[in-house]
C-alpha cells in the first residue's frame, strides 16, 4: 500500500467524517450521494519505470450542502502530513453561487509517481476499501475508474437497491450474502437463503489502556458486535452445516472501515490468538487464522479471517470446505458528552488504527462476552431456521407423493391430461419432478420471505423503540434547559470545563488511585470483572430491556450519547442522572446497585425487619388490645393455635390469606416503594417523594370504584365517599411506608408493616367507643399514638440500618442536604 492508496483512504475517510458531521448525525440518516474517483497514469518524464498518477476525487451532484471548501482544505492538509502528494483543489464556487443552489460540486486532485505494479495493488486495495464502505453506507455510490496509458477501465460500487438491516446511528448493513461469500454457480437454483440475518449484540464500552490514553478523549469507545451466518451453497436439509470459516470485519466510528496501520500483517496479535474472541471449544471447533486473503476476489475482504479445522474431539468428521461462514462485524463507535467534532473522530481513528490491539486486549473479557452471546444467538436462530426447513421438506414430500398417488391412480384421462398440461409436463415422471421443484420453490420463497420479513419488522421495531427512548431524555433535557434558561447553560459549560480538567487529572492520576477512578469509569471495572460478573452484566442487560434488540437500540444514536453523558457527569443534569443510574446501572457505584436501591440488601436486615413492625404495632396498641379483649380464648391457647403447623398450613392454602398477607404487601410495596422511590427521590427530593409516592398508591385503589359502580353495590355518592376515604388512608399509610423505606433502605420493613396493617384493617374506632371496657381501650389508643410519634424518629434512625443506598445516590448527585438521611 503506497502513496495513492493511503492518500485516497485518508481523503475519503476525511470526506465522509466531514460529510457525516455536516448532516445531522442524530437523525441517524444514511449518507446518500455519489463520488467519482479516477486515477490516470502516464509514463513519468522524470523517473524511468514509473507512472505519473493523477488522482481525482470529485463529487457528482449534490453532496456537501454548505461545506466551506477552504476550511475543509485547510483541515485536511493539516491531517494528512504523511502524504507526499501534491494536493490541489478545484472548486467551482464562482460558477455555482453557494447561496443560490446550496450545492457545491467540488473536485480535488493530487499527483504522485508510482511503479506500475504498486499502482495495480493500490487499485485493488482501494476497490476493497470502497466495497467495505458501501456495505454499511448502502446509499453511497462510487465510480472508480483507472486509466493507464490510455487503457481505460471503470467500475461502479453501489448497493442501492439491496436489502439492508438498519443498525441505527446512520449506518445500515447490506444483508445480501453474495458480498460476503463466493458461491460456485450451480445450474439449478438450489440457493438456500441469499440473505444473512445479522444479530446485533449488546454494546460494550472499551477500556482504553493507560499507556495509550494520552489523548484527550472526552467520550467512550463502544463496541457493538453483529454476527451472521452465511449459508453454505449446498443445502443439506438433514444435517446442520458446520462453520467452516470465520470472517471479521472491523468498522470504526461512522461506519468507516478500520484499516490497521500494520496492514501488511492483517492479523494483529489480538486476533492471532484465536481464543481471545470466542471460546470456540464451546462449539467444538478448532479455529486457525487464515492468512490466505485473496485480494482479487470480488468480495468484501474481511479484516481477519479464520478457517475451521476439525477439532480433536471428532477427528473422523472431515470439515466441509464449503460449510458456513460466520460473519462477525465489530463496530467501534465513539460517543461523547459533547457534540463530536470532526477532528475528534479523526483522532479516534488514529487511536484505533494504532492501538486497537491494546484496547481490545484491555477489554478482552467484555468483548468476548458480548461476541459470544451474539454468536450464540445467531447459531440458535440458524438452528431454528434449519429445523423449520426440515419440517417443510418432509411435509412437501408427503404432499407431492400424495398428489402423485392420486394422479397415477386416477382413471379419468381428462383429469390427468389437464394436470400434465398445467405444469407443461410430458409424462408423469417429468410431472413429479416439476411438481416437486415448483412446490419447493414457491413454499421456500414464501418461507424465506417470511423470515426476511421478520428481519424487516425487527428493524422497524428497533427504530421505533430507539425513537421512543430517544425522545424522553431529549425532551426532558430540553425542557430543563428552557426552564433554567441561560443559567443552566453557563453551569453546564462550567461543569464541562471542570469535567475536562477532571478527565485530565484522571488520566494522570489513574495509576496511583484506581479506587477513585473506578466510579468514574464504571464500565472499566466491569471490563475487568470475572466471568461471573460478566454473566451478571448480561443478565442485567436482559432484565433491563425487554430484549436484546431494544437494549441494542436504546444505546444507539443520540440516546447513546446521552447515556455516555450521564456516565461522564455524575453531578451533571441533576434530575436525570440518578434516574438513569437507577435504571441503568448495577455497576454505578458498588453500594447503589439496582437491587440495593430497591431495598434488597442484607446489611441491617434484622433491625429493618423488626423495628418498623414494632413501631407499627405500637401505633396499633389500641386495636391490638381490643382484639385481645374480644378474643374468646386466652393468650396461651391463642399462642398454641398460632404456633400450630396446621393453622399455618390452612393459612397458606387459603388464597385470600395469601393475597392479603403475602402477595399484596409484597407486590404493592415492590411497585410503589421499591420501584418508585428510587426514581422519584432524585427528581424531587426525599421529602416530596415521600408524599408524592403514596398518591400513586391511593390512585391505584380507585379501581374499587369501577367495580362498585358496575355492580351498583351502593349509591354513587356513597361509593365516591368511601373511595375518597380509602384514598386518604391508603395515602397516609403509603406515606408512612415510604418514610420507612427511605429511612431503613430496606423493603422488608414496609412489607411486614403492610402485611400487619392488612391483617388489622382500619381501626374499629366506633366499636371501641361502644366497648364495655371503653376507658382502658381508649387509653391504649392514645398511648399507642403517643408512643408512636415519640418513637418514630429514633426507631427509624438510618444509623441502625447501615448505609442507605438511596441517600448515597443522592449525596453523589450533589443533593447532600436530604434531611431524611440523617
Partner 1 sequence: MAFAPMGPEASFFEVLDRHRESLLAALRRGGQEPRSGGSRLASSSEVLVSIENIIQDIITSLARNEAPAFTIDNRSSWENIKFEDSVGLQMVSHCTTRKIKSDSPKSVKKFALILKILSMIYKLVQSNTYATKRDIYYTDSQLFGNQTVVDNIINDISCMLKVSRRSLHILSTSKGLIAGNLRYIEEDGTKVNCTCGATAVAVPSNIQGIRNLVTDAKFVLIVEKDATFQRLLDDNFCNKLSPCIMITSTPVFQHLKSKGKGVPDLNTRLLVRKLWDTFHVPVFTLVDADPHGIEIMCIYKYGSMSMSFEAHRLTVPAIRWLGLLPSDLKRLNVPKDSLIPLTNRDQMKLDSILRRPYVTCQPFWRKEMEIMADSKMKAEIQALTFLSSDYLSRVYLPNKLKFGGWI
Task: Provide the annotated active-site residues.
Answer: 668, 701
CB of residue 663 to partner 1, shortest distance in Å: 21
Q: What contacts 216, CB < 8 A, 6 or more positions away?
A: 500, 503, 504, 507
Please give the Cα distance from 460 to 466 (Å, whole number). 10
Closest CA to 626 of 476, 743, 777, 757: 777
187-208: b (≥16 Cβ within 10 Å) or e? eeeeebbebbbbbbbbbbbbbb
Ramachandran category for residue 734: left, alpha or beta (phi over 0 → left; psi -120 to 50 → alpha)? alpha
Ramachandran category for residue 61: left, alpha or beta (phi over 0 → left; psi -120 to 50 → alpha)? left
Q: Rule CB under 8 A: is residue 438 a binding residue for partner 1?
A: yes
Nearer to partner 1, 428 or 722 (CB): 428
First to last CA, the chain: 67
Q: Would you say 327 and 180 are in contact if contact means Cβ atoms under 8 Å apart?
A: yes
User: Segment 335-394, which members bind partner 1 (CB under 8 A)?
Assistant: 388, 391-392, 394
Q: Would you say 377 and 202 are in contact if contact means Cβ atoms under 8 Å apart?
A: no
| Residue 508 CB neighbours (<10 A) | 10
User: Segment 732-791, which members bind partner 1 (CB under 8 A)?
Assistant: none
CA angle 709/715/720 to nearest 5° reads 65
Nearer to partner 1, 433 or 718 (CB): 433
Which position among 236, 446, 457, 497 is part of the footprint of partner 1 (CB under 8 A)? 446
Q: Rule CB under 8 A: is residue 443 a binding residue for partner 1?
A: yes
Q: Tell me the three state secondary structure of residue 525.
A: helix
CB of residue 200 to partner 1, shortest distance in Å: 24
Piece of the chain touching partner 1 by CB under 8 A; list 433-441, 512-520, 640-648, 649-657: 433-441
User: Segment 387-426, which members bind partner 1 (CB under 8 A)?
Assistant: 388, 391-392, 394-396, 398-399, 401-403, 405-407, 409-412, 415, 418-419, 422-423
CB of residue 436 to partner 1, shortest distance in Å: 11
CB of residue 710 to partner 1, shortest distance in Å: 19
The single residue listed with the C-alpha cell 496509458 is: 149
| Residue 655 CB neighbours (<10 A) | 9
CB of residue 434 to partner 1, shortest distance in Å: 9
Q: Would you say 239 and 255 are in contact if contact means Cβ atoms under 8 Å apart?
A: no
User: How many residues belong to the site for partner 1 (CB under 8 A)?
Assistant: 31
Q: Rule CB under 8 A: is residue 455 a binding residue for partner 1?
A: no
The single residue listed with the C-alpha cell 460540486 is: 105
Closest CA to 85 of 7, 26, 186, 190: 7
In sequence order, what DSSP letters do the residues of 97-139 get, joined into one string? -HHHH----EEEEEEEEE-HHHHHHHHHHHHHHHHHHHHH-TT
Closest CA to 621 of 760, 780, 428, 801: 780
Q: Would you say 297 and 182 are in contact if contact means Cβ atoms under 8 Å apart?
A: yes
Piece of the chain touching partner 1 by CB under 8 A; list 103-111, 250-258, 446-454, 719-727: 446-454
Please give the Cα distance from 739 to 750 (Å, whole number). 9
| Residue 31 CB neighbours (<10 A) | 19
Nearer to partner 1, 161 or 414 (CB): 414
Piece of the chain touching partner 1 by CB under 8 A; list 431-439, 507-515, 519-527, 560-568: 431-439
Closest CA to 631 of 658, 782, 640, 657: 640
Closest CA to 324 of 387, 193, 199, 232: 232
Please give the Cα distance from 360 to 276 (Å, whole number). 9
Q: Would you say 299 and 247 are in contact if contact means Cβ atoms under 8 Å apart?
A: no
CB of residue 37 to partner 1, shortest distance in Å: 42
DSSP conformational letter for 301:
P
Q: Rule CB under 8 A: is residue 453 a binding residue for partner 1?
A: no
CB of residue 450 to partner 1, shortest distance in Å: 7
Query: What sign does the CA torsion over 793, 593, 561, 465 have?
Result: negative
Which position among 27, 43, 297, 450 is part of the footprint of partner 1 (CB under 8 A)? 450
Nearer to partner 1, 377 or 443 (CB): 443
Nearer to partner 1, 439 or 756 (CB): 439
Closest CA to 617 of 769, 759, 820, 735: 759
Nearer to partner 1, 412 or 710 (CB): 412
CB of residue 393 to partner 1, shortest distance in Å: 10
Nearer to partner 1, 399 or 695 (CB): 399
Piece of the chain touching partner 1 by CB under 8 A; list 50-58, 301-309, 445-453, 743-751: 445-453
Closest CA to 321 of 312, 309, 313, 311: 309
| Residue 739 CB neighbours (<10 A) | 22
Which position among 31, 360, 435, 821 is part of the footprint of partner 1 (CB under 8 A)? 435
CB of residue 422 to partner 1, shortest distance in Å: 5
Which position among 263, 447, 600, 696 is part of the footprint of partner 1 (CB under 8 A)? 447
DSSP conformational letter for 229:
E
CB of residue 412 to partner 1, shortest distance in Å: 7
CB of residue 438 to partner 1, shortest distance in Å: 5
| Residue 546 CB neighbours (<10 A) | 10
CB of residue 239 to partner 1, shortest distance in Å: 20
- The alpha carbon of residue 619 and the mean position of all alpha carbons in its chain are separated, in whole angstroms, by 49
Closest CA to 760 of 630, 647, 672: 630
The single residue listed with the C-alpha cell 461543569 is: 495
List contacts with partner 1 (CB under 8 A).
388, 391-392, 394-396, 398-399, 401-403, 405-407, 409-412, 415, 418-419, 422-423, 435, 438-439, 442-443, 446-447, 450
Amino acid at each position: 500500500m503506497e502513496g495513492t492508496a493511503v492518500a485516497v483512504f485518508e481523503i475519503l475517510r476525511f470526506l465522509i467524517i466531514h460529510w457525516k458531521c455536516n448532516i445531522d448525525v442524530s437523525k441517524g440518516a444514511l449518507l446518500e450521494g455519489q463520488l467519482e474517483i479516477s486515477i490516470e497514469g502516464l509514463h513519468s518524464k522524470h523517473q524511468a519505470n514509473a507512472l505519473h498518477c493523477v488522482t481525482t476525487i470529485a463529487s457528482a451532484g449534490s453532496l456537501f450542502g454548505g461545506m466551506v471548501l477552504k476550511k475543509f482544505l485547510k483541515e485536511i492538509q493539516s491531517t494528512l502530513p504523511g502524504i507526499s502528494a501534491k494536493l490541489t483543489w478545484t472548486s467551482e464556487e464562482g460558477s455555482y453561487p453557494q447561496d443560490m443552489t446550496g450545492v457545491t460540486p467540488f473536485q480535488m486532485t493530487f499527483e504522485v509517481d508510482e511503479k506500475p505494479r504498486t499502482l495495480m495493488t493500490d487499485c485493488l486495495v482501494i476497490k476493497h476499501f470502497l466495497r467495505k464502505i458501501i456495505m454499511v453506507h448502502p446509499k453511497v455510490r462510487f465510480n472508480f475508474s483507472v486509466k493507464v496509458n490510455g487503457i481505460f477501465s471503470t467500475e461502479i460500487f453501489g448497493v442501492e437497491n439491496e436489502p439492508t438491516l438498519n443498525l441505527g446511528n446512520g449506518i445500515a448493513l447490506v444483508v445480501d450474502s453474495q458480498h460476503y461469500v463466493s458461491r460456485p454457480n450451480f445450474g439449478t437454483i438450489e440457493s438456500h437463503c441469499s440473505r444473512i440475518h445479522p444479530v446485533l449484540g449488546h454494546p460494550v464500552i472499551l477500556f482504553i489502556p493507560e499507556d495509550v490514553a494520552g489523548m484527550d478523549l472526552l467520550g467512550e469507545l463502544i463496541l457493538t458486535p453483529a454476527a451472521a451466518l452465511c449459508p453454505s451453497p449446498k443445502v443439506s436439509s438433514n444435517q446442520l452445516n458446520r462453520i467452516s470459516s470465520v470472517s471479521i470485519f472491523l468498522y470504526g466510528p461512522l461506519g468507516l472501515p478500520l484499516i490497521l496501520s500494520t496492514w501488511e500483517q492483517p492479523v494483529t496479535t489480538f486476533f492471532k490468538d484465536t481464543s481471545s474472541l470466542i471460546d470456540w471449544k464451546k462449539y467444538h471447533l478448532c479455529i486457525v487464522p487464515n492468512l490466505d486473503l485473496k485480494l482479487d476476489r470480488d468480495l468484501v475482504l474481511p479484516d481477519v479471517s479464520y478457517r475451521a479445522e476439525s477439532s480433536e474431539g471428532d477427528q473422523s468428521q472431515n470439515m466441509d470446505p464449503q460449510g458456513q461462514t460466520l460473519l462477525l462485524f465489530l463496530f467501534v463507535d465513539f460517543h461523547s458528552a459533547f457534540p463530536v467534532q470532526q477532528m475528534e473522530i479523526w483522532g479516534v481513528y488514529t487511536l484505533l488504527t494504532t492501538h486497537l490491539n491494546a484496547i481490545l486486549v484491555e477489554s478482552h473479557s467484555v468483548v468476548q462476552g458480548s461476541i459470544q452471546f451474539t454468536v450464540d444467538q445467531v447459531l440458535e436462530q440458524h438452528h431454528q431456521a434449519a429445523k423449520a426447513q426440515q419440517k417443510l421438506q418432509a411435509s412437501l414430500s408427503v404432499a407431492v407423493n400424495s398428489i402423485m398417488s392420486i394422479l397415477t391412480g386416477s382413471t379419468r384421462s381428462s383429469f390427468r391430461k389437464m394436470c400434465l398440461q398445467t405444469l407443461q409436463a410430458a409424462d408423469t415422471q417429468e410431472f413429479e419432478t416439476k411438481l416437486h421443484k415448483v412446490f419447493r420453490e414457491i413454499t421456500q420463497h414464501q418461507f424465506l420471505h417470511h423470515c426476511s420479513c421478520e428481519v424487516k419488522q425487527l428493524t422497524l421495531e428497533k427504530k421505533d423503540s430507539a425513537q421512543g427512548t430517544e425522545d424522553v431524555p431529549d425532551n426532558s433535557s430540553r425542557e430543563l434547559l428552557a426552564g433554567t434558561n441561560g443559567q443552566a447553560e453557563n453551569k453546564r459549560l462550567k461543569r464541562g470545563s471542570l469535567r475536562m480538567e477532571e478527565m485530565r487529572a484522571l488520566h494522570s492520576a489513574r495509576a496511583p488511585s484506581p479506587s477513585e477512578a473506578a466510579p468514574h469509569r464504571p464500565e472499566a471495572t466491569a471490563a475487568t470483572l470475572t466471568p461471573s460478573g460478566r454473566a451478571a452484566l448480561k443478565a442485567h442487560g436482559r432484565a433491563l430491556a425487554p430484549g436484546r434488540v431494544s437494549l441494542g437500540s436504546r444505546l444507539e444514536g443520540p440516546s447513546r450519547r446521552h447515556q455516555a453523558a450521564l456516565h461522564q457527569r455524575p453531578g451533571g443534569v441533576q434530575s436525570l442522572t440518578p434516574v438513569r443510574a437507577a435504571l441503568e446501572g448495577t455497576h454505578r457505584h458498588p453500594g447503589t446497585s439496582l437491587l440495593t436501591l430497591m431495598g434488597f440488601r442484607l446489611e441491617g436486615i434484622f433491625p429493618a425487619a423488626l423495628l418498623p413492625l414494632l413501631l407499627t404495632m405500637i401505633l396499633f396498641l389500641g386495636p391490638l388490645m381490643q382484639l385481645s379483649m374480644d378474643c374468646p380464648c386466652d393468650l396461651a391457647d391463642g399462642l398454641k393455635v398460632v404456633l400450630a403447623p396446621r393453622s399455618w398450613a390452612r393459612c397458606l392454602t387459603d388464597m385470600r390469606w395469601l393475597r392479603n398477607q403475602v402477595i399484596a404487601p409484597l407486590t404493592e410495596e415492590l411497585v410503589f416503594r421499591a420501584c418508585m422511590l428510587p426514581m422519584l427521590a432524585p427528581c424531587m427530593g426525599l421529602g416530596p417523594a415521600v408524599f408524592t409516592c403514596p398518591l400513586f398508591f391511593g390512585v391505584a385503589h380507585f379501581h374499587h370504584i369501577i367495580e362498585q359502580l358496575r355492580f351498583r353495590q351502593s349509591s354513587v355518592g356513597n361509593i365516591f365517599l368511601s373511595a375518597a376515604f380509602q384514598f386518604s388512608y391508603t395515602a397516609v399509610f403509603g406515606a408512612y411506608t415510604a418514610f420507612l423505606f427511605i429511612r431503613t433502605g430496606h423493603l422488608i420493613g414496609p412489607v411486614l408493616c403492610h402485611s400487619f396493617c392488612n391483617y388489622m384493617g382500619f381501626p374499629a374506632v366506633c366499636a371501641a367507643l361502644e366497648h364495655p371496657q371503653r376507658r382502658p381501650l381508649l387509653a391504649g389508643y392514645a398511648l399507642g399514638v403517643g408512643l408512636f410519634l415519640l418513637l418514630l424518629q429514633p426507631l427509624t434512625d438510618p444509623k441502625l440500618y447501615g448505609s442507605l443506598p438511596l441517600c448515597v445516590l443522592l449525596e453523589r448527585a450533589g443533593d447532600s442536604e436530604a434531611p431524611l438521611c440523617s
